[in-house]
Structure 1
Amino acid sequence: MAVIRPHDLLWGLTPRHLPADAPAWVAAALADGQPVVVRRDAAAPGQVAVGVRGSRREQRYATHMPVATISRQVSPEALCHRTGQANWPALQALYRLRPCLDELGWVWGVSGSAGFELASGFGALHADSDLDLIMRTPQPVPRDDARRVLALLEDRVDMQLQTPAGAVALREWAGNSAKVLLKAADGARLVSDPWSLPA
């Protein structure tokens, strides 16, 4: 099995793994065979933090999944060149951006609702959905380079830079603020360098 990272989609969690007080819609989603998405949160050994999504935007449920139960894993970068069954605006934006992002030579992927729908076939997008993208950035990205990437993106496209320390919004890193919000497994904090673990 590949390394499990935030935004990966996992199959194998079933209703019997849920706490007794889990909402009924969570069990229904899992019974339908939907995947869960890996969250950026602490987990006990042998467990991974995941989220279950329902049919409504407010239906999001955080839980943990035994690693031993994972039957399938799909990463955001495995979805870059998939085609959706519906022609939502978010997917149209993805198709337009593909050649530009590929030319950058960096590893990028599709997350959020678009990634969920492309990977699973379960409907998650609607006409007003944004397109969420990630870019793997193990090495620091100069802010000028971030601004060039941002210039490629359309209004309703958001990209997160995945650094060794956590994730930061491309839009923030391309800005002029001295500090940006870094999302890590132990919480979010303002940092000046998203590629260095905060002291």
Structure 2
Amino acid sequence: MEYIAHDLLQLKEEAKLISYTPIPEWVEHSLAKAPFVVVRRAVYRDKLIPVGVRGERRNQRFGAFLSEEAIKQTIRPENLVSFFQNGQSRNMPAIRALEEVAIIFGKFAWGPTGSVGFELASGEEVVTTTSDLDVLIRLSSYLSVKQAEMIVSKLKRCSVSVDVQVETEKGAFSLTEYAKDEETLLLRTIYGPALVKLNQLV
């Protein structure tokens, strides 16, 4: 199976993280509460999947690696849309905003990431009353700058701040930055960020 950035991986009970640096103490505590990691946008190492662990604090993020055998379940952001539609979520502003976003994105392949995605997948209550909503869109066809402008305009009227990353085969970029129609754009790739021209995204 292919693992893509922002996929949430539920770990098997006996799963072990692989790290080439010391693992902080908080990592074990976090995984005991919610045995989930997120796939990082990075290069595989010795066939190991690059993953990240989130702690209780914003500054508690740790990058490590994982073998495929340690994975119990894979949850993509797109899968999480049905979670909140079925009422499997708390009544928090950022989670409620998914209903607004669903109308805006229509038939796009999209889903929540960040704290909202993590809470919907794991059941761990990490979303706060001040949380923003992070979302990704996966493009299967060309998205014009005009389309992006219209979407961004609608998102600005949402009840919470919504940050959208557009995922392509070449990497990911900010929908807001793309809508500005500037000559270059920051593209996030597995090899790191790179400035590219808009016509290179097509």
1:10-89 alignment runs, 5 A limit: 10-12=9-11, 16-19=16-19, 21-83=22-84, 84-89=88-93
Corresponding residue of 1:4: 3
- Taking the aligned partners of 2:17 and 2:166, their CA distance within structure 1 comes to 32
CA 1:64 to 1:50, structure 2 compared with 1: closer, same or farther past 3 Å? same
Unaligned runs of at least 5 residues, structure 2: none
Unaligned runs of at least 5 residues, structure 1: none
Contact kept in structure 2, 1:139 and 1:195, CA below 8 Å: no
Question: Which amino acid is the alignment partner of residue 56 of structure 1?
Answer: R
Matched, 1:174 2:179: yes
Which SS does the other structure have where 1:71 is aligned? strand
Matched, 1:97 2:98: no
Question: Which amino acid is the alignment partner of residue 17 of structure 1?
Answer: L
Corresponding residue of 2:119: 117
- Taking the aligned partners of 2:183 and 2:177, their CA distance within structure 1 comes to 10
Question: Which amino acid is the alignment partner of residue 171 of structure 1?
Answer: T
Which SS does the other structure have where 1:114 is aligned? helix
- Percent sequence identity is 34
Q: CA deviation at 1:34?
A: 2.4
Q: TM-score w.r.t. structure 2 length?
A: 0.88
Matched, 1:156 2:161: yes
Question: Which amino acid is the alignment partner of residue 9 of structure 2?
Answer: L
Contact kept in structure 2, 1:179 and 1:192, CA below 8 Å: yes
CA deviations 1:61-95 (Å, max 9, x no partner) are 01111112111000000011322532111112112
Question: Which amino acid is the alignment partner of residue 50 of structure 2?
Answer: A
Corresponding residue of 2:170: 165
Q: CA deviation at 1:45?
A: 4.0
Which SS does the other structure have where 1:82 is aligned? helix
Which SS does the other structure have where 1:17 is aligned? coil
Contact kept in structure 2, 1:139 and 1:163, CA below 8 Å: no
Corresponding residue of 2:201: 195
- Taking the aligned partners of 2:22 and 2:97, their CA distance within structure 1 comes to 39
Which SS does the other structure have where 1:87 is aligned? coil
The number of residues matched between the two structures is 193
State the Cα RMSD in Å: 1.8
Contact kept in structure 2, 1:48 and 1:65, CA below 8 Å: yes
Question: Which amino acid is the alignment partner of residue 8 of structure 1?
Answer: D
Contact kept in structure 1, 2:15 and 2:71, CA below 8 Å: no
Q: TM-score w.r.t. structure 1 length?
A: 0.89
Q: CA deviation at 1:128?
A: 1.2
- Taking the aligned partners of 2:39 and 2:120, their CA distance within structure 1 comes to 16
Q: CA deviation at 1:149?
A: 1.4
- Taking the aligned partners of 2:143 and 2:115, their CA distance within structure 1 comes to 26
Which SS does the other structure have where 2:83 is aligned? coil
- Taking the aligned partners of 1:17 and 1:180, their CA distance within structure 2 comes to 34
Which SS does the other structure have where 2:82 is aligned? coil
